[in-house]
Amino acid sequence: MACLWCRRAGLLPIVAIVLAAVAGCERGGEASRAVLAERRASWAREIAGLKAQHEVLATRLEGRPAPGEGAGAAASERRMRAVLDGARQSIADVESQFAQAEGRVDQAIGRGSQAGERALEEESARARSYLQALGQQLGAVARQADERARTDDETK
């Protein structure tokens, strides 16, 4: 029930509009939080996949004998291991970035549903970029390891 003063001043329609807008913002914030939860779960799955891929590659390189083809093979092996070590650190960095992104999106949602949606889209684009870069990094190591294995097989 509206107060008597609001009814007399003709403010009842305005109060109703403001209440509807606030309720709409609340629903918009809830929707943004739901999308954030979905994205967070998706990011976690992708990170888990990258960690698994990293682990497979690390195990594959650990089991490799010392290169026997001279300095070029040894340098190639060191580069692969260095890229793989860098990828491990990058995965940890990306996980940290995702945790920070959640906080930034949550703060933006508090400023309004449009700000929340904008922040969510920006963070999602950034996350996609991080994940693609990591995938490319690990893919490059996998291709190098495959090439190295083919070369080793041919020299036997």
| 83-111 pLDDT, tens digit each | 899 999 999 999 999 999 989 998 998 89
Percent of the chain exceeding pLDDT 70 equals 74
pLDDT digits (tens, 9 = 90+) for 17-62: 444 444 444 556 788 888 888 998 999 999 999 999 999 999 988 8
Q: Which residue has the tokens 């329609």?
A: 13
Q: Is the pLDDT of residue 4 over 70?
A: no
Q: Please give the residue that has the higher pLDDT: either 36 or 4.
A: 36
What is the band of 8 on the pLDDT scale with cuts at 50, 70, 90? very low
